[in-house]
């Protein structure tokens, strides 16, 4: 009992002394923190927004994006174009379709991993990639600068299994062929030999996925990504031994009623490119025969539409590139397909446009993501010059005169729901897929808009305008498509 009381007394004394000495230290630390915090000020929202504003838009992560009205900026709030009684069910359908879309196209965004200071573990931070159901060795694994009586390391995966090529006993390595691999040894050189030969095997067939691996010692834990990706097969177009432009490029167009303009276009093409293939998609009510060598004329149902015709035309292209032109354009001495071809052959652009009577119509598409929907802003102009080509710029979209990679355009596609006025919508659907440029030094002419002197042609032009002119219903339908298909909240233009 006596010794017990002495022990209790000692504990109380130590506790009181520790409090006595700790309080000044705590107060000092608090004072230092307080002092530092008085100097730790963030810029005001107005200031940091002004620092990072691009073309009138603040492209920073945010929960909700918005399209703000300003001078010369036209804003469409897309819900305004939907019947209010239909909106709740439409939102539900859109969300359901978006969730399905996310399953089909999972984000490759990796979990945020912060490197710990002075960690003795070495491991790859990027670049580890494996095909589905394949096996690789994980490079760079090791433990350094630590001395322990017994070393223990645990590796853990979620979408694959682990093993090692090191020939050691099960007492040293356990969990071979499973998601968790345990290494236990007193020899650090043996440990690093085993780690150097650790393998990862993908066990689930997925096109793209990220497995965040865990690498753990007794005192430290690290994470690193293993990318599972199924490469696609290349789709190569044979340009032939001579690499003639006719072996590389097909000219495509869509026509409706205006055969007099189409024939002028073909005549101008043949003046400069006599043997290049021309593909025509035609949804006229009473089709006329288009004669000519190396001309393919495809007839569609009457009034099927602008983008449906584009889809049909490029579906028949067998060359690496196609040149899109309208049926009322005219080739001139400045319509140098070779210049546009040189740009696509020497850069990673997917589409390069020229100018129509001096107008490149190049524009930027600036996209903001919000929690429940996105905001899209169209601004005319370009992002910057295209390196190596002083007359070319990088943009998001171009005029109706462009050279494009056939396979990439097929991947994006032209939405056949858009029947009348449509153009920028192709580039909207291609945002994040198509890299686009524009070159002002390659141009094409446009046929005159003067009224036809022939009464028959006047009747044709009048009929064409009735089908071609945008209606309020068509505009409203396009905005609805942006709301549902592109999951947009608003759309602004300037």
Task: Kindly state the average pLDDT of the residues 90-119.
Answer: 80
pTM: 0.84
Q: What is the mean pLDDT of residues 327-339?
A: 96
Res 248: pLDDT = 96
- Give the number of other CB atoms < 10 A from CB of residue 216: 16
Element (H, E) at 259: helix 259-272
Q: Is the pLDDT of residue 26 over 70?
A: no
Give the helix/strand (H/E) hosting 394.
strand 389-395
pLDDT digits (tens, 9 = 90+) for 171-210: 999 999 999 999 999 999 999 999 999 999 999 999 999 9
Whether 27 shows a pLDDT value over 50: the answer reads no
Looking at the predicted structure, is the pLDDT value of residue 223 above 80? yes
pLDDT reported for residue 110: 59
Q: From CA 258, how far away is CA 262, in angstroms rounded?
A: 6
- Measure the CA–CA gap between 396 and 429, rounded to whole angstroms: 11
Q: What is 28-78 written as a DSSP string?
A: HHHHHHHHHHHH--PPPHHHHHHHT-BTTB--S--SS-----BTTBEEEEG
- What is the rounded CA–CA span in Å between residue 218 and residue 149? 12
Q: What pLDDT is attached to residue 36?
A: 52
> By C-alpha distance, which of 145, 60, 114 is closest to 223?
114
The secondary structure element, H or E, covering residue 279 is strand 278-282
Residue 153: which H helix or E strand, with range? strand 151-156
Between 183 and 467, residue with greater pLDDT: 183
In the prediction, which pLDDT does 59 show? 78
The whole-angstrom separation of Cα 171 and Cα 453 is: 96
Check pLDDT > 80 for residue 35: no
In this prediction, residue 277 has a pLDDT band, given cuts at 50, 70 and 90, of very high
Instruction: Give me the pLDDT at residue 360, please.
Output: 93
Reported as a single tens digit per residue, the pLDDT across 343-362 is 999 999 999 999 999 999 99
Average pLDDT over residues 87-96: 92
Predicted confidence (pLDDT) per residue in 405-463, tens digit: 999 999 999 999 988 778 999 999 999 999 999 999 999 999 987 666 777 877 877 77
Q: What is the DSSP letter of 418?
A: -
Percentage above 90 pLDDT, the chain = 66
- Please tell me the distance from the alpha carbon of residue 136 to that of residue 12, in angstroms, as a whole number: 60
Mean residue pLDDT of the chain comes to 88
Q: Is 138 helix (H, G, I), strand (E, B) or coil?
A: coil
């Amino acid at each position: 009992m006596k010794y017990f009381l002495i022990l209790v007394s000692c504990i109380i004394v130590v506790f009181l002394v520790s409090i006595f000495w700790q309080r000044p230290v705590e107060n000092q630390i608090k004072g230092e923190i307080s002092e530092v915090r008085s100097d730790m000020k963030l810029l005001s929202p107005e200031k940091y927004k002004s620092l990072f504003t691009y073309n009138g838009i603040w492209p920073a992560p945010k929960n909700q994006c918005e399209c703000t009205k300003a001078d010369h900026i036209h804003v469409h709030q897309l819900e305004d174009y939907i019947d209010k009684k239909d909106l709740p069910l439409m939102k539900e359908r859109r969300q359901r379709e978006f969730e399905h879309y996310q399953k089909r196209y999972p984000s490759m965004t990796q979990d945020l991993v912060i490197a710990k200071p002075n960690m003795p573990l070495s491991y790859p931070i990027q670049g580890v990639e494996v095909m589905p159901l394949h096996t690789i060795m994980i490079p760079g694994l090791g433990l350094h600068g630590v001395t322990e009586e017994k070393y223990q390391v645990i590796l853990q995966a979620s979408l694959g299994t682990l093993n090692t090529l090191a020939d050691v006993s099960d007492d040293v390595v356990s969990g071979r062929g499973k998601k968790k691999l345990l290494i236990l040894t007193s020899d650090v050189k043996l440990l690093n030999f085993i780690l150097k030969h650790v393998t990862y095997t993908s066990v689930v067939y997925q096109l793209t996925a990220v497995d965040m691996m865990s690498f753990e010692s007794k005192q430290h834990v690290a994470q690193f990504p293993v990318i599972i990706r199924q490469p696609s097969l290349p789709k190569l177009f044979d340009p032939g031994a001579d690499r003639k432009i006719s072996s590389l490029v097909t000219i495509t167009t869509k026509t409706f009623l205006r055969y007099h303009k189409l024939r002028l276009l073909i005549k101008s093409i043949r003046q400069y490119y006599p043997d290049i293939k021309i593909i025509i998609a035609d949804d006229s009510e009473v089709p006329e025969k288009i004669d000519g060598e190396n001309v393919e004329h495809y007839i569609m149902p009457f009034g099927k539409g602008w983008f449906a015709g584009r889809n049909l035309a490029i579906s028949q292209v067998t060359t690496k590139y196609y040149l899109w032109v309208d049926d009322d354009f005219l080739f001139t001495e400045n319509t140098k397909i070779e210049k546009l071809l040189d740009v696509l052959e020497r850069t990673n652009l997917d589409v390069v446009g020229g100018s129509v009577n001096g107008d490149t119509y190049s524009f930027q598409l600036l996209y903001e993501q919000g929690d429940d929907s996105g905001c899209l802003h169209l601004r005319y102009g370009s992002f910057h010059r295209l390196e190596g080509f002083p007359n070319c710029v990088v943009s998001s979209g171009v005029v109706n005169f462009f050279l494009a990679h056939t396979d990439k355009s097929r991947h994006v596609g032209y939405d056949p729901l858009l029947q009348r006025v449509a153009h920028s919508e192709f580039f909207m659907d291609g945002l994040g897929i198509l890299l686009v440029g524009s070159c002002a030094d390659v141009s094409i002419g446009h046929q005159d808009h003067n009224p036809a002197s022939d009464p028959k042609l006047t009747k044709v032009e009048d009929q064409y305008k009735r089908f071609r002119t945008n209606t309020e219903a068509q505009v409203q339908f396009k905005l609805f498509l942006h709301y549902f298909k592109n999951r947009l909240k608003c759309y602004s233009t300037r």
